[in-house]
A = this chain, B = another copy of it.
Amino acid sequence: MHFRTRPSRSTLPDMKTFTYRTRLAIEDLAVVDRPLPRIAPHEVLVRIDAVSLEYRDLAIARGAYGALPLPLVPASSGAGEVVATGSEVSRFAVSDRVSPVYVPAWRDGPVDEQVARGRLGGPLDGVLAEYVAVHEDALVRTPAGWSAADAATLPVAAVSAWQALVTDGGTRPGDDVAITGTGAAALFAVAIARTVGARPIVVGRDAGRLERARALGAVVVDVNDSVPWDARLRALTGGRGVDLFLDAVGGDTLDRTVASTRVGGTVSLFGFAAGMRTSLDLFATIRRAVTLRATSGGSRRSFEDLVRAIDRGAPIRAIVDRTVPFEDARAAFVHLADGRPFGKVIITREAA
């Protein structure tokens, strides 16, 4: 369906969305018919062709993010095609391939509270729908030649990694960047580190996954080795420690993270896979003059810069673990929860 002009109100067809109706729980998630959204003068109607499921979406589905307004359309990371544009839209045209920005009001620079509050998939309606209406300022073109499934992996995982490494981190060629785990954002961080000429070092615990990270160009450190991983990281960096540590784990490992980071370096607090609370050795942190910088998502500017880098040939690729059809979206949540995917779990409209 490609609208060349905005459909008149009376002819608005229905569309399908997944929706949490009465509570945040995978079992409550159901397909609901809604009228196709009317677009305001500066809005764009986007047909969503693919959605990438994020751990945040899973946490919301489990109620771990607290209360959110209901009903709610889930999912924060998607891609599709412009099918209609509002009367004053100037940035996009019908048939452009686009992705909605995960934090729609974040243009550039640091966030403030107003900006940070609004996020797709909660509290704002997300992209697990056939169509979404998006302000033209909250959309980004996807990389030339990328499929919707591949492009859908970018808005949260890749943009967050770009924000942490490039926009906020200012990573330079020759820098050492440690990255915990082999999740999708971590794998993007490996590629982005290589793009800027830095050396990515992945710290993980699964030999098979580490081997795949190595194949992507990372140095790898196995936490099961007899030598403690922080000592390994210091040894790999000539005793100096890494310039930037992308810590997606949290929990009780933050002391080792700080001990692995060079004096004056930065730890990017990027996630909390191992626990939402951590213990911090203030004395060591101050003595090493380490900065802990929380990162959550990224700006439209970061997203646009990322796409431009890909278009210019940066070695950044989507890694897709599995693709499921729209109707089976709940299976994607289950696979993300239990399947230990390497790369992204994608929900597509046209999946076979």
Contact = CB atoms under 8 A, between A and B. Distances in A.
Interface of A: 40-41, 91, 107-114, 116, 166, 170, 172-175, 192, 195-199, 240-241, 250, 254, 262-264, 269-272, 275-283, 285-296, 301, 305-312, 314
B294 A289 contact: yes
A303 to B, nearest CB: 11
Contacts of A271: 286
A281 to B, nearest CB: 6
B282 A279 contact: no
A241 B112 CA distance: 11
A282 B112 contact: no
Contacts of A289: 110-111, 116, 294-296
Contact of A250 (B91, B195, B282, B309): B282
A309 B107 contact: no
Contacts of A198: 312
Contact of A286 (B108, B294, B312): B294
22 contacts: A40-B41, A107-B108, A108-B110, A109-B301, A110-B264, A112-B262, A166-B172, A172-B196, A173-B192, A173-B195, A173-B196, A173-B312, A174-B308, A269-B285, A269-B286, A276-B283, A277-B280, A277-B283, A286-B296, A288-B294, A289-B295, A291-B292
A329 B250 CA distance: 45
A269 B289 CA distance: 9
A281 B276 contact: yes
A307 B173 CA distance: 10
